Amino acid sequence: MENFQSLVALFCAVFVSIYTWKFLNWVWFKPKKMEKFLRRQGFNGNSYRLFMGDYKEMVAMEKEAQSKPINFSNDIVPRVMPFIKESVTNYGENCFIWFGPEPTALISDPEMIKEILSKNYVFQKPSHPLGKLLAEGIAAYDTDKWAKHRRLINPAFHLEKLKNMLPSFYMSCSEMLSKWEKIVASEGSCELDVWPYLQTLTSDSISRTAFGSNYEEGRNIFQLQKQLGGLVFQAIYSITFFIPGWRFVPTKTNRRMKQIAKEIESSILEIINKKMKAIELGEGKSNDLLGILLESNFNEIKQNGNEFGITMKDVIEECKLFYIAGQETTSSLLVWTMILLSKHLDWQARAREEVTMIFHEVLRLYPPVVMLSRVIHKETTLGHVTLPAELQLFLPTISLQHDPKLWGEDAKEFNPERFNEGVSKATRGQLSYFPFGGGPRICIGQNFAMLEAKMALAMILQQYSFELSPSYAHAPVMVLTLEPQYVALFCAVFVSIYTWKFLNWVWFKPKKMESFLRRQGFNGNSYRLFIGDYKEIVAMDKEAKSKPINFSNDIVPRVMPFIKESVTNYGESCFMWFGPDPTALISDPKMIKEIFSKNYVFQKPSHPLDKLLAEGILTYETDKWAKHRRLINPAFHLEKLKHMLPSFYMSCSDMLSKWEKIVPSEGSCELDVWPYLQTLTGDAISRTAFGSNYEEGRNIFQLQKQQVGLVLQTIKSISIFIPGWRFVPTKTNRRMKQIAKEIESSILEIINKKMKAIELGEGKSDDLLGILLESNFNEIRQNGNEFGITMKEVIEECKLFYIAGQETTSSLLVWTMILLSKHLDWQARAREEVVQVTMIFHEVLRLYPPAIMLSRVIHKETTLGHATLPAELQLLLPIISLQHDTNLWGEDAKEFNPERFNEGVSKATRGQLSYFPFGGGPRICIGQNFAMLEAKMALAMILQQYSFELSPSYAHAPDMVLTLQPQYGAQLILQHI
């Protein structure tokens, strides 16, 4: 008996001794041995303290860091891992820290990290029993088990499979936006904490894509996972975390964690069983992650046997991991993206077109997981150091991604542009960016997360703009992923789509276009909010028009002073701001030729005010323009125009009859010829367009003149830049609309008379309206109504006949008479030879073109010459600048010398497009022959009866109204021949 007792006592002593040794080894000898080993390898850190290690300091520093928010900054490492930051400061990057009795070495060398991530069978994932309560699955498994799970799960994350999940992402995001729609006012803004909505969105998405169920069905799992995550983190921050076997102690927390884990498994198992039953019955589609995983597993078992498949328990663990990883990662990415875009509104605007660079930069600054951990189970060489067995390693993702030595001085700044050529170029081939890990174990779900985030952000940006609320407190904190700590205080201000459009129009789009243009070599003033260069343009125009100039043909500084100054300051490749819209100056003849030839690409810009004056062929584009051009062309054939000579003759005779009464038969008389020439061309267009004389059409002409004045008054007002201003019932707006109605009514009356006459066989089709109506009738008769033009469109063409037909010819005639008054030798030559008149007109149109510039607009990004131009950019083609350019026309470019055209336009321009007073390409002015024929007859009849010279009272003041006109009239001294 005594021997037995002795044996028991000995056994107990040995047992106690072994476990006492194990405890002492765990709590003291092993930590001290590992500390010594690490110090020999060049690692430094705090000396080990019994059992606690660095625990107290860690908890205290984290508590202090999380006790208050920080000023907005991306330098968040001191807040999210304060103890590690201090350790690096005190001991350098090769340091270690103590989590209880276990040392963890910090590895910050990109080459070492690359080696760790590539040797995944050596450097394995550390595990803790608490981790199993949350989820195991592929993220926790190692070696062969990991390889098997990766192989079976891979098919679920192929890009083709992920594309099938886009409808689920869309539905989940639509539901979130529907909730916002009820909260955010349709006009104005609203403060909203988006964080819980983004969590719900990503949970809903993972429920749909993982299980084919929506968030409401999967809410129980999500809520339980959230509870369990909170309890696990509570346990991790407790001192009991370091006590082996503490999880078996039946504390309230431990019991609750086990109960939740069972409930989660039960809920997921129910979903799995439903899915399997549906698959067996041939009803279940394998478009969701669970279905694809089960199908992949069935195929593997069928081909290779049960041991090659995974168990039901394994499937449950993978589903738990789908929930946690799929929900946490994407919600973290989205919330930090929205926060950063709230601070960087220029990038918010750019995000509507390109988000990949932005997501990379957000993941660099705010990675969902701020560090990765690995463990080695045997002594291992890494780089130049040897590491002891059972050592844990920390790979501080966020520290490397914020390191100025790796990313430059702006490492902590938000600059997505650094990724414009991809990750490899941004990192210069180093492993300094690994938000999803790296090597064979790189996160299998990264494409899933990025695809979901891209769709969600795109849908949000389509409907809302946002900025940070004053109540937002910047407090990044690491829970399962990096989250905003004060979730209730993260508020974004959402504005309606109309407010966003306004902000985009008034600031983001102009700034983006300015940046684009500068990259293409264009220069100009920096954009100023809303008004752009408006103040300077108006002030310089006002100054230029305040007084006449000495007689000279160098009129560019007077008629477009701001453009002249811009070219002087910035060169010919410059841009200017008409409110929030940039306009690029194109002065290269080759580029202008390309613009004219590609009329479907480089289109006419339009403004609502244009409709009050006239639309018609001048403003229509693409197919509508082509149809109108085809129908109107017959009216301007030379044979048809010859029939209009009697009308030109009668109108000019009427004007000369009036002069006959004013100018004495003997002697001379001063006369302002400008109003007479306007009357002449108004009368001529009335007769030739409508077959009515000027007296009958006087109402239309006077109304058009009034309308032009009001429109130009509006254009020079700041209100021109305010969208929708024309709907405000101001006195001017009401009058313009009233005039437009009266003009349309008068023209419609003329059209109805003409149509009635044609029907009765009484109307001749010698006038422009008659020819247009006849052409339209023939087109409809042959091809159907859709090939003709409407009555409204006929009215618009008639309004255009009036404006273009009257303005262009009167401008040409008045400058011709002024120049011939200065150059009496050419006046004599014009009287003698008709050929001379053509040369004279060409030279007048070169020096004083009716339209001094043309404008075009592009609706998509376009290449022109060597430059790429952004969509919605307006272009100015400065006719007068090119036609006055000494590089193109010689030293006498600003002199009146019709002789330069004695061999025609082509010879004078040497084949370059440096002369285009009537435009060019397919859209060259359809009425140029009309204008030239009328002007030739008028000038010939004037020269037959009168000689003229400039009056001393004439003040030279070219002024751009609708066309180039003499501001103070054209006072000439007329004398009968």
Annotated binding-site residues for heme read 925
Rounded distance between C-alpha atoms, residue 752 and residue 835, angstroms: 42
DSSP string, 812-852: HHHHHHHHHHH-HHHHHHHHH-HHHHHHHHHHHHHHS-SSS
Pull the structure tokens for residue 37.
């080993």
Per the annotation, where are the binding residues? 925
Rounded distance between C-alpha atoms, residue 869 and residue 21, angstroms: 77
Residue with tokens 């077109």: 353
Pure H helices in 92-214:
110-118, 129-134, 143-153, 159-163, 166-183, 195-211
Which among 411, 546, 556, 544 is positioned nearest to 886, based on CA atoms?
A: 556
Name the β-bridge partners of 965.
Answer: 959
Rounded distance between C-alpha atoms, residue 224 and residue 226, angstroms: 5
Contact (CB, 8 A) for 425 and 393: no
DSSP string, 357-425: HHHHHHHHHS-SSS-EEEE-SS-EEETTEEE-TT-EEEE-HHHHHT-HHHH-TTTTS--GGGGTT-HHH
Rounded distance between C-alpha atoms, residue 519 and residue 881, angstroms: 25
Helix (H, G, I), strand (E, B) or coil at 504: helix
Task: State which amino acid sits at residue 700.
Answer: I
Which among 815, 814, 805 is positioned nearest to 697, based on CA atoms?
A: 805
Is residue 277 exposed (0-12), middle (13-18) or buried (19+ Cβ within 10 Å)?
A: exposed
Name the β-bridge partners of 431.
Answer: none
CA 388 to chain centre: 54
Based on its alpha-carbon atoms, the radius of gyration of the chain, rounded to whole angstroms, reads 41
Contact (CB, 8 A) for 435 and 367: yes
Q: What's the DSSP call for residue 527?
A: P
Helix (H, G, I), strand (E, B) or coil at 96: strand
Pull the structure tokens for residue 572.
């010919």
Helix (H, G, I), strand (E, B) or coil at 255: helix
How do beta strands 668-672 and 867-869 pair? Answer: unpaired
Rounded distance between C-alpha atoms, residue 193 and residue 492, angstroms: 6
Pull the structure tokens for residue 279.
């698959």
DSSP H or E segment with residue 938:
helix 928-945
In Å, what is the CA distance from 213 to each residue of 169, 185, 203, 445, 895?
Answer: 12, 31, 11, 19, 82
Pull the structure tokens for residue 915.
């002369």
Number of Cβ atoms within 10 Å of the Cβ of 254: 18
Rounded distance between C-alpha atoms, residue 57 and residue 85, angstroms: 13
Name the β-bridge partners of 478.
Answer: 482
Helix (H, G, I), strand (E, B) or coil at 567: helix
> C-alpha angle 669/673/674, rounded to 5°?
155
In Å, what is the CA distance from 467 to each residue of 194, 357, 358?
Answer: 12, 20, 16
Rounded distance between C-alpha atoms, residue 186 and residue 183, angstroms: 9
Rounded distance between C-alpha atoms, residue 587 and residue 572, angstroms: 6
